[in-house]
Each structure stands twice: as structure tokens, then as C-alpha cells.
Amino acid sequence: MGIRTVEQYKQSLRDGRRVYISGERVEDITQHRVLGLTVDTIGAAYELAEKGDAKTKELLIARHPDTGEPINRFYVTPRTPEDLANRTKAIHTLMRQTGGLPFGKDIGTDCLNAAMAVAKQMGNKQYEANAKNFLEHLRKNDLHTCGAITCVKGDRGLEPAHQKHPDYYLRVVDKTKEGIYVKGAKIHITSAPAANEIMVVPTRQMRENEAQYAVSFAIPANTKGITFICRNGRGPWSDKEFHADRPVRELTEAMIVFDNVFVPWERVFMCGEWQHSMNIAYTFATFHRFTAISYKVPNVEVMAGCAVAMAKYNGLFKVSHVREKLADIAAYVETLRALADAAAMKPVMYGDIAVPNPLIANMAKLHFASKYHEFVKLIQDIGGGILATSPDKRDWDNPEIHDYLEHYLGGHDCTTEERLRMIHETMRHVASHEAAFHEVTTVHAEGSMAAQKMMILHESPLDKYEKRAKIAAGILPIGTKID
Ligand SMILES: Cc1cc2nc3c(=O)[nH]c(=O)nc-3n(C[C@H](O)[C@H](O)[C@H](O)COP(=O)(O)OP(=O)(O)OC[C@H]3O[C@@H](n4cnc5c(N)ncnc54)[C@H](O)[C@@H]3O)c2cc1C
């Protein structure tokens, strides 16, 4: 098959999967008010690959490295900086052309790329073959994969083996000749209810007495014993909003419960090799932070654009304190872009797999997360109090008050409606329920800032810094070998 249509994708989700949202079982998620938006958001990527212009198709549809058949770009295992850069370009294009984040394959392949790289490092030919066969299955059927890493974790101060419930971290509870049985729950999993396959990776390093938790595998979403418990979301546009002429874009997360789920051996990529659990979690995190910084760039570009437009519509674009804030806003966006580009250009090779530069990818994610709230504050500052108190579209549409709004809410060099449209767009990013959701997401999704700092410390040449200081201080002689 290679490339599916959006209809084929939607049809594949009517497979008896067990999905709940707000306490209700959903039989057909494609028809659900909230979950349908997730399906449409992911579906938009299928649509673009099918109906986009020639340049877009060329980017989104790659060639199978062996057979030359068409495959989705995300199913190209990165071997070069160009492969990584193409992934970023595909994410940017999808976001800009669909108006959302059609995260249908990104996180799953972050997991699979890590599983492939680590299977090679383990020297385990069976796992290597399993990962390769799974990749071929994804390529052939153009499947949507989610990535399930984060365990519920219970008491964060305790190791997995010492938790009140042994399955606070997902674990293997039985092994047979045919496969393994797993139990536990993964949480916050983006777009999970609309995935065809769930790719599982350990959430952290496991020790010798935690071998049952060192498990990685892939499993279809409708497998017996799997239940999705989804976050509720905002639903379609309301008649109160000024909005663009396209559907709301949204990706629902879910807690995935694995209740004694059977996984055949051919779908297992790690089972008990606790010594390699750190490596797979770490390699996944590097791929995933690279994905994160790739999708954040188009996000923050739009937000920065809101600040520029609001400054102009308010007649303050040339005022010095506003320009100073715009400079900070631009510096935030462009630092992120530069780091994202650099992470692709300086990969680390794990065998023949190009892993984005771990130090730079983590620096980029830390930059993004640690300065985001300040960035939001600057946009709120420039936009003004109207971001909190704006009349809505229903007011605008009411002839009894429309003329007052038209008259009193005008700005500089724009129609009143343009100003209101921009106010509503800005509100969505910095003064809404969604905005608060994104503030939390920025801090936690793709790992907490503490996790990024750990990886930065691990990757940084601290010894080298120290030696240089000792040479400068005369403790070591000039000419001391540094590396
Ligand atoms: C919108 C969204 C989408 C997401 N999508 C996915 C996804 O698709 N797949 C996936 O697998 N995950 C996903 N995540 C999960 C994300 O990776 C986690 O939220 C993140 O790793 C933090 O874990 P946590 O939420 O359990 O927070 P916690 O672990 O509860 O962290 C809270 C704080 O405690 C600190 N902390 C935690 N444990 C310790 C410890 N032992 N010692 C010291 N400090 C500690 C953390 O650094 C942090 O500051 C998503 C999260 C969000 C918000």
C-alpha cells in the first residue's frame, strides 16, 4: 500500500478499540466531538500527502531505500544530517499547511529509531530483525504510531521495584514460548486513541532487580486488554470565536492501560536487558527532543507574529519599549531555530543511524521550556488588557451592539474586525484554557527541565572546561593535552 488515503486511515480506526472519554465508551472515535478533531488533525497529514502540491508531496513521500516504493517521510531511518533536516522540514510543512500538528508518526518513530539503534548496540540480532520488520510493516501500511514511554510512576521518590503497586511502571508479568504478557499503564500519550500501533519504551533506567520493567515492544491499538482513557478537549470552534476557516486542530492524550496484554515475541525489542534500559530511554529522549524543537519553531513563530501584529494594530510598533520586547521575542524564536538546525547538522552516529546531537537537542528543549512563560508574558504585555476582556463573535454579530464595537474597538491601520480576529488568535495562545494547557505542556512534555539538565551535564565537556581554567590559573602548564 505505502501511502494511505485519509479515508483508509479513518476506516482503520473502527476496529473495536476500547476508548473512554469523560466516563463514556466511544465506539467510533472518528465521529466523536473531541476525538474526531484528533483524527482530523492526523488525517490532515494523510490528506496533504495525497493532495498536496508537487513540492509538498516530494517532501512528505520518500522512497523506500531498498525497493524505491513510496513510503512516508517519517519512515525513513535517518542516516545523514539531511535525513534529520528533512524530518524537521516535513514537520514545519505539515504544521504550516494544515494549521495544526499532525503528530501521526513522529513520536512512534522516535521510539522505533531508538529501539533499532539500541538493538544494534546490544548485538541482539533477533531484536534488530524485529525492529526492522516492524518498520517494514509501518512502511507498507502507512500506519499511525504513538509513543508510550511515560509510566504513571506512583511515588516518584521510590524505584520501580519498591512501589506500593509493582505495576506503577509497566512490566512483564509472564513469558511463554509465543510471547510476553505485560501489565501497567502509560500516561499522557499524545494522539494515542487515534493510533494504529502503540510503540512502548521504558520510561527510565532500570537496575538489575528491575529487569521485568526493561521492556520495549509494539502492539496494535485494538489488542485485547488495552484501554484508552482520554483527556477531554475543547471541541470544535464555537460561534463566540473569531477563527480561521479550518477545523480546530487538536491532539488528545490518553492514559493507556495494559491489563495482561499479550505481545508476540516478534514484536518485542527489549525484554529484561536492564543494562540497556538507560540507553534506549536516553536515545528515545534525544530523538524526541529533536522532534519537539522541530514542531515548536512553527508554533512560536505564529505567537511572535501575534505580538508583531498587535503592536502594529495598537499603533505602538515604533515605540522603544515595545521594540525592545519584540527583540526579546525574536531572539527567543531564532535561538530555538538555530539550535534545532544545529542538532540536525551535527548528529552522533549510532552505527549507521544518525541520532540528533544530544547536547544541542537538550539545550534547545531547555531553552524552549525555561523561557516560554517569559515569552508569553511579553506577548500579553504588548497585546494589552483586551486579551482578557475582549467581546466575542456573538457580540460582533448582534446588530444592536455591533456598531459600538466597530466604532470603539478600532486600532491603527486595520479594520476593527481584523483587530478582533488578531485579539482572538492571540488569546488562544496566551490567555485561554488552551494557553494554560500549553504552558504546562511546554514544561513537561518531552521530559521535565531537570531531565534536560541531566542530559546536558552528561554530554558537556566539564573536564575540558576545568582543564582550561587550570591552565589559565597556572595550575596546569600551557600546552597540557585537553582531549
Ligand atoms: C501534553 C503532553 C503530552 C505528552 N505526550 C507524551 C507522549 O506522547 N508519550 C509519552 O510517553 N509521554 C508524553 N508526555 C509525558 C511527559 O514526557 C511527562 O509529562 C514528563 O516526562 C514528566 O513526567 P510526569 O508528567 O510524570 O511528571 P513528574 O514525574 O511528576 O514530574 C514533576 C516534577 O518532579 C520532578 N521529579 C520527578 N521524579 C523525580 C525524581 N525521582 N527525583 C527528582 N525529581 C523528580 C520532575 O523533574 C518535575 O519537576 C506528555 C506530557 C504532556 C504534558
Residue nearest atom 24 in ligand 1 by C-alpha distance: 444
The answer to whether residue 111 scores a pLDDT higher than 90 is yes
CA of 203 to the centre of ligand 1 (A): 10
pLDDT band at 2 (very low <50, low <70, confident <90, very high): confident
DSSP code, position 260 = E
Which residues neighbour 383 within 8 Å (Cβ) at sequence distance 6 or greater?
306, 307, 310, 314, 423, 426, 430, 431
Which residues neighbour 134 within 8 Å (Cβ) at sequence distance 6 or greater?
112, 218, 267, 269
Give tens-digit pLDDT for 241-271. 999 999 999 999 999 999 999 999 999 999 9
The answer to whether residue 102 scores a pLDDT higher than 90 is no
Average pLDDT over residues 219-231: 98
Residue 107 CA: which ligand 1 atom is closest? 8
Instruction: Please state the pTM of the whole predicted model.
Output: 0.95
Where residue 417 falls (left for φ over 0; alpha for ψ -120 to 50; beta otherwise) is: alpha
Average pLDDT over residues 214-239: 96
26 beta partners:
19
* Structural Rg of the chain based on CA atoms: 24
Where exactly are the structural domains of the chain?
6-272, 279-466
Average pLDDT over residues 419-435: 97
Average pLDDT over residues 289-317: 97
What is the model's pLDDT at position 188? 97
CA of 135 to the centre of ligand 1 (A): 27
Query: Which range, of 24-28, 132-136, 230-234, averages the lowest pLDDT?
Result: 230-234
| Beta strand extents in 301-350 (DSSP E only) | 348-350
Question: Cell 473569531, residue?
Answer: 242
What is the model's pLDDT at position 20? 98
Domain 279-466 has CATH 1.20.140.10: yes
CA of 280 to the centre of ligand 1 (A): 17
What is the model's pLDDT at position 394? 98
The answer to whether residue 1 scores a pLDDT higher than 90 is no
Q: What is the mean pLDDT of the chain?
A: 96
CA of 445 to the centre of ligand 1 (A): 7
Which of 462, 461, 481 shows the shortest CA–CA distance to 471? 481
Quick one: 6-272 is in which CATH superfamily? Answer: Butyryl-CoA Dehydrogenase, subunit A, domain 2 (2.40.110.10)
**CA–CA separation, 109 and 199 (whole Å):** 8
Alpha carbon dihedral 231, 235, 240, 241, in 10-degree steps, equals 90
Residue 201 CA: which ligand 1 atom is closest? 11
Helix axes 358-383, 433-444, angle to 10 degrees: 160
Mutate to test the pocket of ligand 1, among 448, 449, 456 (most ligand atoms within 8 A of CB): 448
What is the model's pLDDT at position 101? 87
What is the model's pLDDT at position 104? 81
Average pLDDT over residues 157-172: 96
Mutate to test the pocket of ligand 1, among 150, 163, 204, 441 (most ligand atoms within 8 A of CB): 150
Which of 150, 231, 230, 157 shows the shortest CA–CA distance to 185? 150
Give tens-digit pLDDT for 351-386. 999 999 999 999 999 999 999 999 999 999 999 999
pLDDT band at 404 (very low <50, low <70, confident <90, very high): very high
CA of 448 to the centre of ligand 1 (A): 6
What is the model's pLDDT at position 334? 98
pLDDT band at 483 (very low <50, low <70, confident <90, very high): confident
What is the model's pLDDT at position 119? 95
Question: How far is residue 187 from each of residues 70, 118, 148, 281, measured CA to CA in Å?
Answer: 33, 24, 8, 16
Give tens-digit pLDDT for 184-209. 999 999 999 999 999 999 999 999 99
Q: Ligand 1 — pocket residues by CB below 6 A?
A: 107, 147-150, 153, 156, 186, 188-190, 253, 440-441, 444-448, 450
Residue nearest atom 20 in ligand 1 by C-alpha distance: 447
**CA–CA separation, 225 and 271 (whole Å):** 19
